[in-house]
Chains A and B, each alone.
Chain A
Amino acid sequence: DAKTTQPPSMDCAEGRAANLPCNHSTISGNEYVYWYRQIHSQGPQYIIHGLKNNETNEMASLIITEDRKSSTLILPHATLRDTAVYYCIVRVPLTNDYKLSFGAGTTVTVRA
């Protein structure tokens, strides 16, 4: 399974952009990068995913380097409700589907 490396924690000021880095240097050409977050005592929540191109949705933007060895999740205007553990995940193939291979994630604390 491809592994991801994230900083264990980071702080962010409310209203500012939060840039969450992730290294996935062993990722193979057809493996997607997914981002989920988990707010305390809840199940993980899907944020965004990508393969090669940068992606944007209503929650965040995903910037993937050209060599695909790293990516950055950008929360454009962090709010207190964005405080959570953020997981950078490489999708691993299963029979006719895939599983999510979670690491330990980055604990993001948004401060007022």
Chain B
Amino acid sequence: DTGVSQNPRHKITKRGQNVTFRCDPISEHNRLYWYRQTLGQGPEFLTYFQNEAQLEKSRLLSDRFSAERPKGSFSTLEIQRTEQGDSAMYLCASSGRLAGKNEQFFGPGTRLTVL
């Protein structure tokens, strides 16, 4: 399968713990996006990378959240000191080299539950 992959698919953690999610985009895609989706709502944009550069961050991305894409390939999203309000589906998407010309392809998501 050459689509976007995300790991883990599910994560259960206790409040206050740190968690890290990984996203592997489609191999030739240089743009990578993170979205968050809470129950019954559509996904909300969090942040975006072009190659290794993080070009935009939403106000939803508090100081406890950090995203990286060190070599312009896979990306990680870390949440420090998790809170129950962080429980959500975290979605990763990627798109091709032509800015604004290609649709975003989504991965299956990582479902986070904070107890």
Partner of B48, one of A91, A97, A101: A97
Interface size on A, residues (CB 8 A): 22
A contacts with B: majority SS: strand
Q: List the A side residues contacting B65 at CB < 8 Å.
A: none
Interface-side segment among A13-21, A37-45, A59-67: A37-45
Given A97-B55, A97-B56, 10 other A-B contacts at CB below 8 A? A42-B108, A43-B91, A44-B106, A45-B106, A49-B103, A94-B56, A97-B95, A98-B100, A99-B45, A102-B42
**Interface residues of B, count at CB 8 A:** 26
Which residues of B are found within 8 Å of A99, using beta-carbon distances? Answer: 33, 45, 48, 56
Chain A contact residues, CB within 8 Å of chain B? 34, 41-46, 49, 87, 91, 94-105
- A63 to chain B: closest CB distance in Å? 19
Contact with A along B23-37 (1 / 0, CB 8 A): 000000001010100
